[in-house]
Amino acid sequence: MEFMTRRQRMIYVVLVSARAVAGLLDIIGVILVGFLAGIGASQFATSGEPVVLLGFTLPTFSEVDLLILVLVVLLVFVVKAIIGLGLSRTIALFAARIEAENAQRIADFVLRGTLSLAHRRSKAELQYAATASASNAFTNILNSFATIVSEGVLLVLIAGTFITIDPLIAVIVMAYFGLVIAAIHFVISNRLKRVGEELVAGSIGSTNILNDSLDTFREISVLNKQEYFLERFASERVRLARSTGLLSFLGGVPRYIVETALMLGVVVFVGWLFLTGSIASGLATLGVFLTGGVRIMSSLLPLQNALAQMRSSSEQARPAIQMLHEREELGDASSTAADTATRPDGDVSIPAEALDVVLSGVDFTHLGNDEPTLRGISLTIAAGSHVAFIGPSGAGKTTLVDVILGLTTPDAGTVRIGGQEPRLLRELRPGLIAYVPQRPGLMSGSIAENIALGIPPDEIDQERVAEVIRAAHLGEFIASLPEGTATSVGKQANALSGGQIQRLGLARALYGRPRLLILDEATSALDAGSEAFISASLSELGSETTVIVVAHRLSTVQHSDVVHVVEAGRITSSATFAELRRDVPMVAEYVKLMSFDEG
């Protein structure tokens, strides 16, 4: 109950206590059945000796009094069954709601945090923590604990009281319960099937959404679309958690049906004895055996299952609990982001034209590394210019891009885009900054949904989609698809070439009419034709958009206004490509190795 609010803990304690106290109705019912049987034996005994049960001498009752007593016994067990079902369902759904809330907290912590925070764990670890582990940590453990408390209390109350055995009556009871089991199967099996289908759909849906959001983490963060994915994830998790809760509830329904059927059978049987005048001397003890003995057995099974569930769930819950602890230690990711992006007083002035980029004394060291990745970088990129970063692998180019985008917070120094901090700009004007990675992430959904990332399908601007498709030179490809932009990416994923995926990523970046566009190795894996399409699209942007390109291929950067050489976390040279080719030995060597001729 560590990650429950005080109010939630109080509600849970009250519900569990109520369920345990409801077991007293079992004891009352068992005793009443014994009294009923004893009274019958007393009134029909030929010896005239009074019957004593549990230290009480049973009085003589009229037929009306006996009927009333029979109805009271029946009412006690029916009421107990209704209360038990209601409390079990309430606890199951309450635990499911707690699970959904904490799974949402884990997803929020990851998606609203920094890139370095997301990279601390593998994608599989993040998926498991927010799905199966969260389910074990809350729904399974809370339900199991409630079962242990309630069944344990009941077992203690009745375990040593009723131990009489009669084989003949046992055979009759088994035959009776055979019919009851058939009824249970008829009533519950279809409902279990439907709940199971919902559970599978919710599990697959939530996993797909989490995969989509992690695959497109940079784009979502740059476009400030976390809320869209968090809402979809929360909806699927509520669906899954509710299905899990109802499955747990339905798993307990047979117990209440069996108990009610047993008590009804006892009452009917005793009534039949009265009507026929056939009274056995051991009727009181027999009644106690049937009610109490079966009730003890019905308590042992859920108690044993709950103890086993607690043991298995404790270990499976560890990843979710660890992430929630980390969230508390590091603070709410959205609050952290707000703290790092200082909000100026009054309205924020954001230029309508291309944005400039200014870095001042930026340092950054990756977690676990001894050497800094970026060292004292100071740089100004003019608005409307096209610049490039080149350099050897591991020089810090991608980290520099992450810092500019605000996905990574520098250890020292400042970054300003259009005079504002990147995180603030992304929050205030989603789409104003756009990003195209080496391998754009694809989400389940249509081509249009992938282009207008994070926008509900009914709110997508189809005219803008058509414009960016033309700008990204995707028109011929889209025209070849069976349903155009409505075609599912999932069905076409294997048929998409690297160039088509890259141009789809470019169309996505252009959808929000960006004033700063950053491409990180966006052409490194493309053929010459696809690279030419990307280059043509960038040229068509003109001076309305500031373009930053990170590339190894010199053909991609040769027409940039300025090319910056990055080595060992520092910018060592800045000039036109022709000047660098002439004056910088490393660039001259690249030209020689790539057999590159300037066009």
**Residue from 259, 263, 255 nearest 287 by CA:** 263
For residue range 419-458, what is the model confidence (pLDDT) as tens digits? 889 988 888 888 899 999 888 888 888 999 999 998 999 9
For the chain, give every residue range classified as CATH 1.20.1560. Answer: 6-331
* Tokens representing residue 297 in the block: 């057995």
Q: DSSP labels for 197-265?
A: HHHHHHHHHHHHHHHHHHHTHHHHHHHT-HHHHHHHHHHHHHHHHHHHHHHHHHHHHHHHHHHHHHHHH
The secondary structure of 279-323, three-state, reads CCCCHHHHHHHHHHHHHHHHHHHHHHHHHHHHHHHHHHCHHHHHH
For residue range 361-400, what is the model confidence (pLDDT) as tens digits? 999 998 878 889 999 999 999 999 999 999 888 889 999 9
Homologous superfamily (CATH) of 357-593 is P-loop containing nucleotide triphosphate hydrolases (3.40.50.300)
Per-residue pLDDT of the chain (599 residues; tens, 9 = 90+): 678 888 888 999 999 999 888 888 877 777 777 667 666 666 555 555 555 555 556 566 667 777 787 788 788 878 888 888 889 899 999 998 999 899 988 888 888 877 777 777 767 678 778 887 888 889 888 998 998 898 888 877 765 555 554 555 555 656 666 676 666 667 666 676 677 667 657 776 787 788 788 778 888 888 888 888 888 888 888 888 887 888 777 766 766 776 677 667 667 766 665 665 554 444 555 565 566 656 766 676 677 667 656 765 776 787 888 888 888 877 654 444 444 445 555 556 666 688 999 999 999 998 878 889 999 999 999 999 999 999 888 889 999 999 999 988 899 999 999 988 998 888 888 889 999 988 888 888 899 999 999 899 999 999 999 999 988 888 888 998 888 899 888 666 666 787 888 889 999 999 999 999 999 887 766 677 777 777 888 888 888 899 999 987 777 788 889 999 999 999 999 999 889 888 888 888 877 776 555 55
**Residue from 444, 463, 460 nearest 452 by CA:** 460
Q: What is the DSSP letter of 395?
A: S
For 44, 74, 179, 345, 432, the CA distances from 172, given in Å and listed in that order, are 24, 20, 11, 82, 78
User: What pLDDT shows up at residue 319?
Assistant: 80
User: What pLDDT shows up at residue 15?
Assistant: 92
CA distance 599 to 584: 19
**Residue from 386, 435, 381 nearest 559 by CA:** 386
Q: What is the DSSP letter of 131?
A: T
Residues 142/9, Cβ–Cβ less than 8 Å: no
- The pTM of the full predicted model, rounded to 2 decimals, is 0.68
* Tokens representing residue 599 in the block: 């066009």
Cβ within 8 Å of residue 410, ≥6 positions away: 362, 363, 364, 374, 403
Beta 357-364 vs 374-381: how paired, if at all?
antiparallel
* Tokens representing residue 165 in the block: 């055995």
Residue 268 neighbours by CB distance under 10 Å: 13
Q: Under CATH, which number does the domain 6-331 receive?
A: 1.20.1560
User: What pLDDT shows up at residue 338?
Assistant: 44
Please report, as a single letter, which amino acid is at residue 329.
E
User: What pLDDT shows up at residue 359?
Assistant: 95
